[in-house]
Amino acid sequence: MNSPLRYGIIGCGMMGQEHIRNIALIDGAEVVAIYEPDPGMRDEAAKLVPGLRFADSIAELLAMDAVNALLIASPNFRHVEQLEEIARLRALPILVEKPLYTDPEHADRIARLEAAYPQLIWVAMEYRYMPPIAALLEQADEATGGIRMLTIREHRFPFLEKVGDWNRFNHQTGGTLVEKCCHFFDLMRLVLKSDPVRVMASGGQAVNHLDERYDGKTPDIWDNAYVIVDFANGARAMLELCMFAEGSRYQEEISAVGPTGKIEALVPGPGRFWPEHLGAPPVPKLIVSPRDPAGPRELDIPVDPNLLEAGDHNGSTYYQHKYFADAARTGGRPHVSLSDGAWAVRMGLAAQQSAATGQAVLL
């Protein structure tokens, strides 16, 4: 019988609460304690977990014997210092939310942590586990004959409100191409099985948050971008991001093309944002389009409604926790290592730099 996994959670805002709902669906896993400084978020977490214990610090959380696994879902700019504190006090299996870090100077600290940490650390890249994207990953090589071009388009809603509105400013998020798009840079490396060598980007803030003020300051977080990435194996990838396009039928559209065909994954946005007057929300799809015989074949990839109810990421948070729990119990390796998480941040920072300077960035 699998040993129980008892989570302590650091940060229980919107994403932390999604994690709580999905952990509740995993056999032999439960949330037993949290560290969350915001009273409102503590109250929301308490509604989800009867008998939940609260800690006033990370040290107090780690001192609880019941806790044998950790989830970090705090603001981006806190992740590195919190990982280091855990490493000093009590090493436990960790699932840490993306992005892994926000400051280029943190890269060496992450590398040292990876070399020395004696337990599992898994970076939360949920998009890998969305059922239509997982289907694309499984079938891409056969469908394409070897991917040469990869395009990821995300047309979605603006950034939501977070505790203290920390996600309105680049210096706290790493910038949109780090905060939001590290998911897509992670997918690029995973799909193409290669590392990037050059990044070119154009992006900026065109529409969102321009009328908002925080301590007299206007948000500077970007809401649109194009990014082109060249890879060591000769493949290339492109990201198109628009965060004022919530009227779209599908939020993410991913296409991979090679010498023998094309494969596409179409992913709806969160069901709670789908307009009621349009009826049922769209179903995720996989489209396979061979060159010979030419013509697309469209498959529905439905997601368990219980998983859709548990979060905004198309069921992926559940699958991520399932695999993490298996690895934590068996001493397995992470699907997404600290190196993988660092690469995604590095690509995002390079894209931010390229867009700001107008110059390509070599990696």
Contact 174/102 with Cβ under 8 angstroms?
yes
Tokens of residue 143, six digits: 């469908």
Each residue's pLDDT tens digit, 78-119: 999 999 999 999 999 999 999 999 999 999 999 999 999 999
Indicate the pTM of the whole model: 0.97
Residue 164: its pLDDT value, please?
85
- So what's the pLDDT on residue 2? 67
Asked if residues 140 and 262 have their Cβ atoms less than 8 Å apart, the reply is no
Check if the beta carbon of residue 139 is closer than 8 Å to that of residue 288. Answer: yes
Within 10-66, residue ranges assigned H as helices are 14-23, 39-48, 58-62
Buried-exposed string 41-64: b where 16+ CB fall within 10 A, e elsewhere? beebbeeebeebeebeebeebbee
Beta bridge partners of 9: 34, 71
pLDDT at 114: 97
- Give the integer Cα–Cα distance in Å for 10 and 110: 18
Cα–Cα distance, 149 to 147 (Å, whole number): 6
Count of CB atoms within 10 A of residue 119's CB? 15
Q: Are 200 and 354 in contact (CB under 8 A)?
A: yes
Q: Spell out the SS3 assignment of 60-100.
A: HHHCCCCCCEEEECCCHHHHHHHHHHHHHHCCCCEEEECCC
Residues of the chain with pLDDT under 50: 1
- Length of the chain measured in residues: 363
pLDDT digits (tens, 9 = 90+) for 278-334: 999 999 999 999 999 999 999 999 999 999 999 999 999 999 999 999 999 999 999
Other CB atoms within a 10 A radius of the CB of residue 293 amount to 5
CB neighbours of 117 closer than 8 A, spacing ≥ 6?
A: 87, 91
Distance CA 286, CA 264 (A): 6
Strand partners for 6: 30
Report yes or no: 245 and 156 within 8 Å, Cβ to Cβ.
Answer: yes
Q: Which two tokens stand for residue 185?
A: 């840079």
